[in-house]
Structure 1
Amino acid sequence: MSHVLGPVWWLIVTLGLLITFHEYGHFIVARRLGVKVLKFSVGFGPALWSRFDRHGTQFVIAAIPLGGYVKMLDTREVEGAVGPTGLAGAFDRKPVGARMAITAAGPVFNLVFTIAALWLVFMLGKPDFQPVVGSVDHVAAASGFQVGDRITSVGGRPVDAWTDASLRVLTAGMDRRDVVVGVVDAAGTARERTLALSKLPAELDQHRLPEEIGLAPRQQPVPPVIGGVPADGAAAKAGLAPGDRIVSIAGETIKDWRDVSEAIQRHAAAGRALDIVVERDGQSKSFQVTPRQGDPEPGAADAKPRWVVGIGVQRVDPHYDATLRYGPVAALGKAFSETWNQTRDTLGLLGRMVTGESSVKNLGGVISIAQAADSSAQNGLVWFLTFLAAISLSLAILNLLPIPILDGGGLLYYLIESIKGSPLSDRVQIAGQYVGLVLLVGLMGLALYNDILRNVS
C-alpha cells in the first residue's frame, strides 16, 4: 500500500507547494496594482478549508489538488446593481500593462522558485558522479571513447559532473546530431572525440537512447544479488528467491549484476535449462532454470527476442564520488546558469515534438510526476529540491505557451489589444477559450496515456 500512498502524498506536496507559489504571484501583484481579489483557491472542487481576510478575499483549500486559481473582480461577471463604488478594483478596468503584469506574475514566480531551489541545492551540495567514463558500448565504442576518459565539454559547453554531460549527450541524441566531446584520456592527454549520434536508428525508442549511445559513468560494482522474483517466472518456479547472490551462470563466474543479463543471452537456448549457482545463507546452491523468450525491446535496432528468467536486481544506493557545492554568490550564479540551460533544453524538446523530430512519448503526466516526486523525496532534501525546481520551471514554460486558457494565451490577447487599441470581442475570446480547453485536455490526455503505457508495459 505504501507504494501507492507515498507517490500520492508527494504529488500533493509538490503540486500544492508549486501551485500555491504560482497563484500567489498573480495574487500579490494584483493586490499591489489595486485589483480586488475575490478568491484564492489551491485545488478545485469542494472546499476543505476556507476563510476570509480583512480585504474580503476568500482563501480556500479544495479537495482536488491538481490546480488552483485566483478569482478577481471582473465587470463582465457582475449582475445587478452594485452601487457607484462596487466595481472599483475590477481587473478588466485596469490598463492593459497592469493586466499583463498580473497575468505574467504566476509564471515569473515559478521561475523565481526554480532559481531559489537550485541556489539551495548548490549551497547544500548536490551529489553526482565525476564525468569519468566507466564503460563504453555501441555508438560510444565505435566513436573511439575509452574507459577512463574524463569528459570536460560537450558541444563546446564545459561540464562539471556526469549529469551535465549525459543530459547534453541525450539532447544531441534526440536530434540524431553528431556532437564533439572534449575529454582527457587515462594518460592525461586532452582530446576531442566526435560522438556519431547521427548513426542512431531513426525508429529507436527514446527510452533506449542511453543504452544505445553506450556511455556509462565510473561507479561501484552492482552486487549480483536478486531483489525481485515474479511468482510466474522461470526463476521462481526453479526455487530462486530474493537475497540470493548469483555466483555463476552455466559455469561462467558472475561478479557484477551487469554480467547477469549478458551471461543469460550467451548461454540460453530453446528447451535448455541454465545451471545457476547462488549463495544463500552462506551455502552454495544450484538451480536449473529454463529461460523463455521475451518480447523484443521496443525500438531496438534488432528485433531479436531476448531470453528472460524472471529476476530483478536488489536495489542499492548509488555511490556518488562528487559533490557540487558552492558559496552563496557562486551558487546563485550556478542556479541562474542551470535554469537557463534547463529552459533551453525544455524549449528545444518542445520544438522537436512539434516538428516531429522527437517522440511525444517523452511527455509525462501526473503519474510520472507522482513517481518522480516519491523517488526524489526518498533520496533526500537535495534531490527533492532539484525535482521541485524542474517541475516549477516546466510549469512556468507550460503556462507561458500562447494557448488560450493558459497565462500565455491571456498575454497574447493583451498584446493584440495593445497593438489594435481595443480588446478582442467577447465572441473571439470565448472561441479561443474553447480551443485552448480542447488543446489542454488533449495534451493532458496524451501525457496520461503515456503514463499508463509506461506502467503496464
Structure 2
Amino acid sequence: MDIVSSAIGFLTGTLVPFLVVLTIVVFVHEMGHYLVGRWCGIRVLTFSVGFGPELVGFNDSRGTRWKISAIPLGGYVKFFGDENAASVPDNAEVAAMSEADRARSFPGASLWRRAATVAAGPIANFILAIAIFSVAFGVNGRMIADPVVAEVRAESAAAAAGVAPGDRFLAIDGHPVETFDDVRRYVGVRPDVPIRVTMERAGQPVELSLTPVRTEITDRFGNKMEVGQIGVVTNNETANFRVKTYGPVEAVGQGVQESWFIVTRTFGYIGNIITGREKADQLGGPIRVAQVSGQMATLGVGALIQLAAVLSVSIGLLNLMPVPMLDGGHLVFYALEGIRGRPLGDTTQEWAFRLGLTAVLALMLFATWNDVSSLIG
C-alpha cells in the first residue's frame, strides 16, 4: 500500500507538473519553428512533442503529422527535405525534386527564410517568458522595498567596508539601485567579485568597495546553492515594504527586464565556470527540473507557470548555443553560407553534426550526473 501511495504521490506531485511545464515550453518552441516555416512557404511534415515512438497523433488537412511521442524530453518539427528531426538536409532527395517541390522544401528555401525559421524557436521561448512575467506583474504587481540598510551583520563584507545602518544604496558598479531586491540580485551572482557601491548617508553620497562572500544557503525545499552575500539586512520600518502595481505597458517592460535578468544571470554563471569562480554542479538536467516542478506545484499554479517562464528562457538560450544539432549551430552554418556564398560541404556538415550530437549528449549526461549526485548527497 505504501508503494502504491508513493507511486501515486510521485505521479501527481512530480511527474505531472514536470510534464505540464516541459510540454508548454517545448510546444511553444516548436510552434515558433512551425509558424515561421509555414509563413516562409516551407512544407511541414511532422510536428512532434517528444521523441521516439509515437503515442498518439493525427494528420491535418495540409499533410502535417501532429503527434505526441514516448520520450517527453523535447520535440521537433520536420520540414520537407529534412533527413531527420535535426533538420539535416537530405541532399539526395532534394536533388531529385521538381522545381516546385524544391521551392517548398527547407533546403531549397532562401537563406533568410531558413535562418528566420530556425531562429523562431528560441524567439518564441523568449516571447512566452515575457508574456508570463508580464501577466504576473500586471495582475499581482511586485513586492518592493526601499534599498535602505536596517542592520549590518558583524564581521561581514559590508561591515568591513564601512556600511552603516540607515545608509541607502544609490548605485552598484555604476548601475542605479531602486529597490532592495536590486541589491540582492546584483550581489547574489557575484560571489568573490569586488564591487563598488554608492551609498547615501546623511544626504551625501559615500563611495565604498566590498567583495560579496560566497555563502551556501538552503531554500524552503532543502535545495542548496551558493550565492554572494554582503551582510546587510532591511526591515519594514526602514524599507517600507509595499506592492507596486503596473499598467499593461509597464508590466511588459517588467517582463522584459525579468527575462533579461535570467539571461544575464545564466551567462554570468557560465562565465564564472569558465574562469573557475563557480563549480559546474549547479547545472541541472531533467531530474532536477522534475524535482523543482514538483516543489513549485506545492506553491500553486502561479508558481508553476512562472517556473515555465524561467525554463522557457533557459531552453531558448540553450538552443542558441553555437553547437551543431542545436538552432544556434544551424544559424552559424547559415552565417558562414552568407559569407562564403555557398553552403558548407556535405562531409563538413556531417562531421559537425556528429560532433554536435556528441557535445549535446555529453552535456545531458553531465547534467544528469549532477542531478543524481544531488539526490544521493
In structure 2, list runs of 5 or more residues that go unmatched. Answer: 1-5, 82-89, 216-223
Q: Work out the CA distance in 2 between the residues paired with 1:14 and 1:190.
A: 49
CA contact (8 A) 2:51 2:75 kept: yes
Q: Work out the CA distance in 2 between the residues paired with 1:33 and 1:345.
A: 34
Q: Work out the CA distance in 1 between the residues paired with 2:212 and 2:181.
A: 22
**Pick aligned residue for 1:27 from 16, 19, 34:** 34
Equivalent position SS for 1:431: helix
Q: Work out the CA distance in 2 between the residues paired with 1:88 and 1:82.
A: 9
Alignment of 1:300-449 (within 5 A): 321-449=241-369
In structure 1, list runs of 5 or more residues that go unmatched. Answer: 221-319
Alignment of 1:212-231 (within 5 A): 213-218=230-235
Q: Which moved more, 1:399-408 or 1:107-116?
A: 107-116
Q: Which amino acid aligns with 2:186?
A: R
Change (3 A) 1:19 1:208: closer
Equivalent position SS for 1:91: coil
Q: Work out the CA distance in 2 between the residues paired with 1:160 and 1:147.
A: 18
CA contact (8 A) 1:114 1:392 kept: yes
Q: Which amino acid aligns with 2:129?
A: T
**Pick aligned residue for 1:155 from 140, 148, 173:** 173
State the structure with more CA Rg.
1
Q: Which moved more, 1:327-336 or 1:190-199?
A: 190-199
2:26 matched to 1:106? Answer: no
2:70 matched to 1:63? Answer: yes
Q: Which amino acid aligns with 2:231?
A: G
Normalized against structure 1, the TM-score is what? Answer: 0.68
Identify the residue that residue 53 of structure 1 maps to in structure 2: 60
Aligned length: 349
CA contact (8 A) 1:128 1:161 kept: no
Q: Work out the CA distance in 2 between the residues paired with 1:79 and 1:329.
A: 47
Q: Work out the CA distance in 1 between the residues paired with 2:373 and 2:168.
A: 37
Displacement of 1:382 after TM fit?
4.4
Change (3 A) 1:396 1:189: same
Equivalent position SS for 1:437: helix
CA contact (8 A) 2:52 2:70 kept: yes
Q: Work out the CA distance in 2 between the residues paired with 1:21 and 1:337.
A: 21
Q: Which amino acid aligns with 1:178?
A: P
Displacement of 1:424 after TM fit?
0.8
Q: Work out the CA distance in 2 between the residues paired with 1:111 and 1:433.
A: 25
Q: Deviations over 1:389-436 (max 9, x none)?
A: 222111111111110000000001111111111111111111111111
Q: Which amino acid aligns with 1:19?
A: V
Q: Which amino acid aligns with 1:92?
A: P
Q: Work out the CA distance in 1 between the residues paired with 2:205 and 2:375.
A: 42
Displacement of 1:154 after TM fit?
2.9
Q: Work out the CA distance in 1 between the residues paired with 2:159 and 2:53.
A: 58
Q: Deviations over 1:194-219 (max 9, x none)?
A: 35217769xxxx93434x64344538
CA contact (8 A) 1:399 1:407 kept: yes
Alignment of 1:59-208 (within 5 A): 59-74=66-81, 75-76=90-91, 78=93, 86-128=101-143, 130=145, 131-133=147-149, 135=151, 136-137=153-154, 138-147=156-165, 149-173=167-191, 176-183=192-199, 189=203, 191-192=205-206, 194=208, 196-197=210-211, 207-208=225-226
**Pick aligned residue for 1:9 from 16, 27, 36:** 16
Q: Deviations over 1:104-129 (max 9, x none)?
A: 11011111112111211211225546
CA contact (8 A) 1:51 1:58 kept: yes
CA contact (8 A) 1:353 1:359 kept: yes
Displacement of 1:334 after TM fit?
2.2
Identify the residue that residue 49 of structure 2 maps to in structure 1: 42
Q: Which moved more, 1:443-452 or 1:381-390?
A: 381-390
Q: Which amino acid aligns with 1:397?
A: L
CA contact (8 A) 1:40 1:60 kept: yes
Equivalent position SS for 1:92: coil
Change (3 A) 1:90 1:412: same
Displacement of 1:73 after TM fit?
0.9
Change (3 A) 1:4 1:126: farther
Displacement of 1:333 after TM fit?
2.0
Change (3 A) 1:163 1:47: farther
Equivalent position SS for 1:396: helix
Q: Work out the CA distance in 1 between the residues paired with 2:299 and 2:181.
A: 16
Normalized against structure 2, the TM-score is what? Answer: 0.82
Q: Work out the CA distance in 1 between the residues paired with 2:208 and 2:14.
A: 41
Change (3 A) 1:151 1:421: same
CA contact (8 A) 2:21 2:307 kept: no
The percent identity for this pair of structures is 32
